[in-house]
Amino acid sequence: MGRTRTSVAAALLLAGLVVAAPARAADESVTARDNLFASQEIHVDPGDTVTWTNAGRRTHDVTADSGTFVSGDLFPRARFSHTFAKEGTYYYHCSFHGKAGKQGMWGVVVVGDPEPPHGGGGGKDERPRIDVPGDFRTIEGAVDAAEPG
């Protein structure tokens, strides 16, 4: 009987410790392949860490369009991690195979529930969207009509 009471007391104590443990930030992964980031768009919470891994054969990097983070050269199988403390929309690109403004090899990390970057205020993060086949019948037509950036 004494052994059962001790086991029950230990189980209750352990359950209390588990419940009282603080929530841990999550880790999300993005794979840099040759010419693309997979997944191109991810959603995380403030305090979460994103890790990019170069699974391609070429050197890549992860460069925030705003300049807030830069990985440096990521050779094949190399990793880079960044923790996102503040809510926001963070566009990034590979400076070898893309450019700021969603050109070439790019991605976006959405942290929390920020206001959309298309707020109509004409800010730096505002990016017009062209829909195919809504605005243009073909991708070629949309590309021809698109302005740089």
Dump pLDDT digits (tens) for 73-93. Answer: 999 999 999 999 999 999 999
* Mean pLDDT of the region 30-54: 96
How many C-beta atoms lie closer than 10 Å to residue 63's C-beta? 22
36, 58 Cβ separation under 8 angstroms = no
- pLDDT over threshold 90, residue 10: no
Q: How far apart are CA 76 and CA 33, in angstroms?
A: 9
Q: How far apart are CA 43 and CA 82, in angstroms?
A: 14
pLDDT for res 149: 57
* Mean pLDDT of the region 45-59: 97
65, 104 Cβ separation under 8 angstroms = no
Q: How far apart are CA 22 and CA 32, in angstroms?
A: 32
* Mean pLDDT of the region 116-136: 61
